[in-house]
Amino acid sequence: MDFWKQREGNTRLDDELRLAAEKLLKGCVQHFRSAVTRVKKISGVIPPEQMSFFESCTRALLDATNIEDFLRQAQTICEKFPKVIPWLQWWLRPSHASMLFKSQRVMDPDIWDSIPDSTNAEEAMHWKLYAATGRKHDLMEGLRSLVKMAEYYERLSIANTRKCAPLYF
């Protein structure tokens, strides 16, 4: 939002920019599943004999295709496992839920389906950076590597706007 607010010619207000950003974000289902696994192993929160049921209830949140089913499933979890309510409330915040649960998404469905569920944009970009520049650089070497990456993406952008073949570094 800060980037767009500083751009010359930007006329969008904070709420418009926030909504535009939310339409571009998708969360990582694997992170949610890992959190479910951690919580279900806490016997003071989830009785051991109900671990599978808890897991299936949380999976149903991911699979819900409409808001009514989603809310009904969230209510079931809260009723059956009241000690998870604070944990679940964090995942159900609109800004979090819209990135993770299909029934809550604000992103275009075609874009949603084109992005893998097993990663998020930040992790994907970290992987690209590490693959291209390596890791554990000294400060100046690391900064020079980041500048080279920025220059590379700038060349790709210019080539794309000119409909030319991309330049490689």
- Domain locations along the chain: 29-114, 121-162
Contacts for 32 with CB less than 8 Å, ≥ 6 apart: 58, 62, 91, 100
Q: Strand locations in 11-150, DSSP E? A: none
The predicted pLDDT at position 169 comes to 46
pLDDT tens-place string over residues 77-111: 999 999 999 999 999 999 899 999 999 998 888 88
